Amino acid sequence: MTARDSHVNTVAIPPATVVEDVRPQVDGGRFPIKRVVGEDVEVTAACYAHGHEVVAAAVRYRGPGETQWHECEMEPLGNDLWTGTFGVDRMGAWEYKVACWLDHLKAWRDGFARRVDPEDIRLNARIGAQLVARAAERCGTDTCAKLEPWARILREDDDVERLRATALDETLFQLARENAPRDGLYETQALRITVDRERARFSTWYELFPRSASPQAGVHGSFEDVDERLDEIAGMGFDILYLPPIHPIGRDKRKGKNNSVVAQADDVGSPWAIGAKEGGHTAIHPHLGTHADFRHLLMATRARGMEIALDIAFQCAPDHPWVTEHPEWFRKRPDGSIQYAENPPKKYQDIYPLDFETPHWKSLWEALRDVFLFWIKEGVQVFRVDNPHTKPFAFWEWVIAEIKRDHPEVLFLSEAFTRPHVMHRLAKAGFTQSYTYFTWRGSKHELTAYFTELAKSRSREYFRPNCWPNTPDILPYHLQNASPAMFRIRLVLAATLAASYGIYGPAFELGENRPFKPDSEEYLDSEKYQLRHWDRSNPESLAPLITRVNAFRKQHPALQGDWSLVFHATDNDALLAYSKQSGDDRVLVVVNLDPNVAQAGFVYVDEAALGLDPGAAYTVTDAITGAHFTWYGSRNFVRLEPWRAPAHVFSLR
């Protein structure tokens, strides 16, 4: 539909129309929905009036900084449901609402077209003349020049055929409707949209510890060492390089290897124990480099079509400058000592949480906002936020709104592996993307149910999933002591089920599978507590597969969104089949979920969902092996050997 600037309307009578069940909206408009630049917003609503009154409806909308509303006419779907669509063409805060009014002109013309008695036609022509005259009174000079003669003919002419032809003139009718008073008008409250750049919807993340980037084992890495790896990471198809905290690491109560309470002299500590005499959340660990070195790395990353995501962890090491400068920001125990972080039985003696219930909360909030603003000024536009679920929702809603008001390009990833309602509330509060439960979903039933929820439920309006098969904190049980086949399976699933996914870089790429102990999801020799030297020349590296899959993602718009996901039936529960599409681009994926045994069976393709003619032949081309197959109709046979290729990632032609 074509959008147009709407005119100011004077309501002549009290609202006589009803608008209900406007979709999309989140919690009755309490929170905004989310879109990216270039996407459409399709709005539906129930719009009606009493009796047999004819109504019209429109979606009204305006973009960032606009005071005037634009609108697009809504079309009836039947049963009092209406739909209208408008596009969003720039980042920032948008608004939309639905208006409904009595369409007296349409009711008159529809009735006029059915009339046959000459006197009846003449009488109703006079009624139409009155309606057209009301519209002519409200329009500009040029429009009036067209409508007034029309009204005069309807009012004065007695020739039935001329009256009929004049009354049914479509161009004049539409002109009059556009200017007619909107009697019985009702407008909903304004609903909000947060419009982000495209990377909010489609992104590919690679997590790397800069301190482990040195080519020499046992030597602390630097930003310069990360720079040397950029071509390799970009070549694998990643567009976001995520760095854990780059700040000075506390020395007081520093943790040793494998989270040991007593650190040795050469232990480097956890990057999440932020702050030391060198500074806090706006300082850089001296072994990594300077702020100038970091800015150089940012520019080098952008030159390769990537950007850096910086970890924000709002917590402090015992020797963080804030501990002495702002003791009021920390919670004290009865003995006067500061309470360290705990998640029983886990204890984090090297980390002091901030007290968001302090009477000095306002100065704390402003200081934390200023941390974001500092790094934005340095050039960072993406933040991965550590454990946001342990801070108040009101803080996140405030600080993200503060940032995005002046910096709508900034993206926030919520690292919150917690209860569903908490994860969703954080997304509503403004986080651009969210970690998911994919990390632990393994069976066909679990994956189908979970991703159907993500792609099809109303939560998709605000919750954008970012799927990670592993993190530095989580070596899930199905990856512990697992074969390379399991890592390949999880890679394909993450990269094709979700438009945004990430891997904890070298550890996943090289199949790191050793747990600290059998009942733990911690890694043995975790990179969180020590330097690691990764042998990227390992022939078992997943780098070639990662490169092929990521290249396929970039070539196929179907994989750059989440909402088109459709699961297809198979006769083997070890085989998972699903598709995505965008326009004419169609992708079909079949995954063997068993890393140890070749699995075979029939895939029952939902031809209608893919826009295929029933029973027709079509060619499928596998991105992983390059093989071509001709499939016929809905029922087709597959056999997948996990040690060779655990999945088919098909493009359809």
The predicted structure's pLDDT at residue 144: 74
Mean pLDDT, the chain, as a whole number?
Answer: 95
DSSP state for residue 306 in the 8-state scheme: -
- The whole-angstrom separation of Cα 410 and Cα 380 is 8
Q: Put residue 29 in one of left, alpha, beta given phi > 0 → left and psi -120 to 50 → alpha.
A: left
pLDDT band of 112, cuts 50, 70, 90: confident
Do 472 and 600 contact (CB within 8 A), yes or no?
Answer: no
Cα 289 vs. chain centroid, distance in angstroms? 33
Compute CA distances 69 → 97, 98, 261, 394, 646, whole Å: 10, 12, 61, 30, 52
Residue 299 confidence (pLDDT) above 90: yes
The predicted structure's pLDDT at residue 158: 84
Torsions phi, psi of 648, nearest 5?
Answer: -100, 130
Compute CA distances 103 → 45, 53, 169, whole Å: 17, 8, 17
Active site residue 386: yes
Which residue bears the tokens 């020739």? 159
Which residue bears the tokens 């394909």? 492
The predicted structure's pLDDT at residue 165: 87
The predicted structure's pLDDT at residue 13: 62
Selecting among 415, 512, 562, 594, the annotated active-site residue is: 415
Residue 507 confidence (pLDDT) above 90: yes
Residues 69-82 pLDDT 10s: 999 999 999 999 99
- Helix, strand or coil, per DSSP, at residue 577: strand
Looking only at Cα atoms, what is the longest distance across the chain?
105
Residues 250-284 pLDDT 10s: 999 999 999 999 999 999 999 999 999 999 999 99
Compute CA distances 567 → 408, 444, 599, whole Å: 35, 10, 18
Which residue bears the tokens 């006769």? 571
Residues 174-231 pLDDT 10s: 888 888 999 999 999 999 999 999 999 999 999 999 999 999 999 999 999 999 999 9
The predicted structure's pLDDT at residue 3: 44
- The whole-angstrom separation of Cα 608 and Cα 454 is 22
Torsions phi, psi of 426, nearest 5?
Answer: -65, -40
Selecting among 350, 386, 512, 527, the annotated active-site residue is: 386
Do 128 and 112 contact (CB within 8 A), yes or no?
Answer: yes
Torsions phi, psi of 448, nearest 5?
Answer: -65, -50
Residue 89 confidence (pLDDT) above 60: yes
Whole-number CA gyration radius for the chain: 31
Within 10 angstroms of residue 635's Cβ, the number of other Cβ atoms is: 12
Q: Nearest Cα to 250, choosing from 285, 298, 292, 287?
A: 285
Query: What residue type is 271 in one-letter code?
Result: P
Do 160 and 200 contact (CB within 8 A), yes or no?
Answer: no
Give the pair of three-digit tokens for residue 306. 């990537």
Residues 510-563 pLDDT 10s: 999 999 999 899 999 999 999 999 998 899 999 999 999 999 999 999 999 999
The predicted structure's pLDDT at residue 308: 98
Residues 8-23 pLDDT 10s: 455 556 789 999 999 9
Are β-strands 307-312 and 411-415 bridged in parallel, bridged antiparallel, or unpaired? unpaired
The predicted structure's pLDDT at residue 1: 40
Q: Which residue has the higher pLDDT, 132 or 39?
A: 39
- List, in order of start, the domains of the chain with CATH numbers: 4-195 (2.60.40.10), 199-251+271-315+360-553 (3.20.20.80), 566-652 (2.60.40.1180)
- Helix, strand or coil, per DSSP, at residue 514: coil
Q: Put residue 399 in one of left, alpha, beta given phi > 0 → left and psi -120 to 50 → alpha.
A: alpha
- The whole-angstrom separation of Cα 573 and Cα 563 is 24
Cα 440 vs. chain centroid, distance in angstroms? 21
Query: What residue type is 548 in one-letter code?
Result: R
The predicted structure's pLDDT at residue 159: 84
- The whole-angstrom separation of Cα 433 and Cα 411 is 8
Q: What average pLDDT does this structure show over 221-245?
A: 98
The predicted structure's pLDDT at residue 4: 44
Residue 150 confidence (pLDDT) above 70: yes
